[in-house]
Amino acid sequence: MSAPPIDQARPYMTALTDELTRSGAIRTPAWGQAFGDVPRHVFVPRWFQQETNGKGITVWREHHGANTADDLVAVYRDQTLVTALDPDTAEQVDDTAWTGIPTSSSTLPSLMAGMLEDLNVRDGHRVLEIGTGTGYNAALLCHRLGEHLVYSVDIDPALVAAAQDHLSAAGLTPQLVPADGTQGYPTGDTFDRIIATCSVPAIPAAWIEQSKPGTILVSDIALGIEGGLVRLEVDETGRSFGNFTATAGRFMAARAEARTYAAPQRRERAAETDTHPSAVTATHMRTHYPFRLLLAFHLPGAEIVYHVDDSGTTALQIQGPDGSWARAPLVGDDMGMVAYGGDPGLWTQVEAAWRWWNDAGRPSHDRFGYVREADGSAHAWHIPDGTRWNIPARV
């Protein structure tokens, strides 16, 4: 089914652009023009909307085309539109709904706008995008810079082929290649700007090799418990220096295989050791994004998951790479009782981070710097007072 003409979509495109401008996501006229002119619906002919079905299961409901006013409203709403599901986890639950882990999406427009603004492109800049997905972001870059200066890679060749079709339907032919973007662009060209729309645990060496002094990198760094967008400038020694940006947002992780995520390797959980009272609750961890980011600095290699026990009680669980864990209940928070197994030091770190964050006046995430040294080592620091956390490479 072909996409509706741009004229029909124009009022929706304008309304979205106005909304992104009002919210401050679009900050400059050039990106306002790009969002106003590039039709998102051409890039998202099919998407999955999350819903709870009649049996209480959360599913991805398939939608096709932008043929009705309701479809256009959905496509031009400031929302992420999931466009692909991992076939290894996707299970069809009825004619048009699946469960499963998303492997591609058209990013939340306000997040895209914020990142594009943070990228600070100038006329003549050559830009590499990691994570082509639908091709919509590449089209926005083409609008701003010209298609000859836009390069984009995606690990999934099927997505690249579809993006190529969407881009040609919009009259654009940037340089697209199916490739693992953690290795940069396959020809080894250098770029003035690199933007990643999938997360990486650390800035890959290839991105630095394909940078020049002054190149700006914008990427989501996934640190385990939490992560965030960083904006870094590469210097003549290959050091890249910057901070977590005011634009908050998270991306799906870069993967090594085209269509599926490798199953996570986890150590066996230690047996429960004890419980003890704590001033830090699951609500504190859930509510305060900058605190979770700080936890990630304190507990490299740890992750945070939901845990449901046999009685159906849900808790937030931090698990360390050595099998240690600590669990705070989501309800009954006022009790502040934490159960743990293995090293009790895991929760001691959570309490130390909570004290530090409160004593420092609850700094927001953009008060934290991030640097990748030329040798690949990385650290974060609290910009006002220089308190520093080494970020070891994740295994």
Ligand X SMILES: C[S@@+](CC[C@H](N)C(=O)[O-])C[C@H]1O[C@@H](n2cnc3c(N)ncnc32)[C@H](O)[C@@H]1O
Least separation in angstroms between CB 80 and ligand X = 8
Q: Does position 198 bind ligand X by CB under 6 A? A: yes
Q: Which is nearer to ligand X, 146 or 344 (CB)?
A: 146
Name the residue number minimizing CB distance to ligand X. Answer: 133
Q: Which is nearer to ligand X, 131 or 341 (CB)?
A: 131
Q: Does position 155 bind ligand X by CB under 6 A? A: yes
Give the whole-angstrom CA distance, residue 383 versus residue 355.
Answer: 18
Q: Which is nearer to ligand X, 80 or 319 (CB)?
A: 80
76-115: which residues touch ligand X (CB under 6 A)?
A: 103-107
Token representation of residue 183:
């290795």
Q: Does position 154 bind ligand X by CB under 6 A? A: yes
Q: How many residues at the interface with ligand X, by CB under 6 A?
A: 25
Q: Which of 76, 191, 251, 357 is close enough to bind ligand X by CB under 6 A?
A: 251
Q: Does position 156 bind ligand X by CB under 6 A? A: yes
> How far separated are the first and last CA of the chain, in Å rounded?
45
Q: Which is nearer to ligand X, 140 or 318 (CB)?
A: 140
163-182: which residues touch ligand X (CB under 6 A)?
A: 180-182
Q: Which is nearer to ligand X, 103 or 245 (CB)?
A: 103
Contact pattern from residue 252 through residue 281 relative to ligand X, giving x for each residue in contact according to CB under 6 A and a dash for the rest:
x-xx--------------------------
Q: Which of 3, 25, 34, 159 is close enough to bind ligand X by CB under 6 A?
A: 159
| Residue 131 zone, left/alpha/beta (φ > 0; ψ -120 to 50; rest) | left
Q: Which is nearer to ligand X, 130 or 216 (CB)?
A: 130
Q: Does position 293 bind ligand X by CB under 6 A? A: no
Residue type, position 186, single letter: P
Who's near 219: CB < 8 A, 6+ residues apart? 130, 194, 195, 196, 199, 200, 203, 229, 230, 232
CB 320 within 8 A of CB 346: yes
Least separation in angstroms between CB 220 and ligand X = 10
Whole-angstrom CA distances from 83 to 48, 99, 281, 341, 360 are 6, 13, 36, 39, 41
Q: Which is nearer to ligand X, 182 or 247 (CB)?
A: 182
Token representation of residue 100:
């499963």
Least separation in angstroms between CB 240 and ligand X = 19
Determine the interface stretch with ligand X among 47-55, 201-209, 214-222, 248-256 (rule: CB under 6 A): 248-256
Q: Which is nearer to ligand X, 106 or 278 (CB)?
A: 106
CB count, 10 Å around CB of 237? 9
Who's near 206: CB < 8 A, 6+ residues apart? 182, 183, 184
Helix (H) or strand (E) segment spanning residue 113? helix 109-119
Instruction: For tokens 């990385």, name the residue.
Output: 378
Q: Which is nearer to ligand X, 84 or 295 (CB)?
A: 84
Give the whole-angstrom CA distance, residue 197 versus residue 104.
Answer: 10
DSSP characters over 153-178: EES-HHHHHHHHHHHHHTT---EEEE
Q: Is 86 helix (H, G, I), strand (E, B) or coil?
A: coil
Q: Does position 133 bind ligand X by CB under 6 A? A: yes
Q: Does position 219 bind ligand X by CB under 6 A? A: no
| Neighbouring-strand partners of residue 176 | 152
Least separation in angstroms between CB 201 and ligand X = 12
Least separation in angstroms between CB 135 and ligand X = 6
- In the complex, the residues that contact ligand X under the rule CB under 6 A are 103-107, 130-131, 133-134, 136-137, 153-156, 159, 180-182, 197-198, 251-252, 254-255
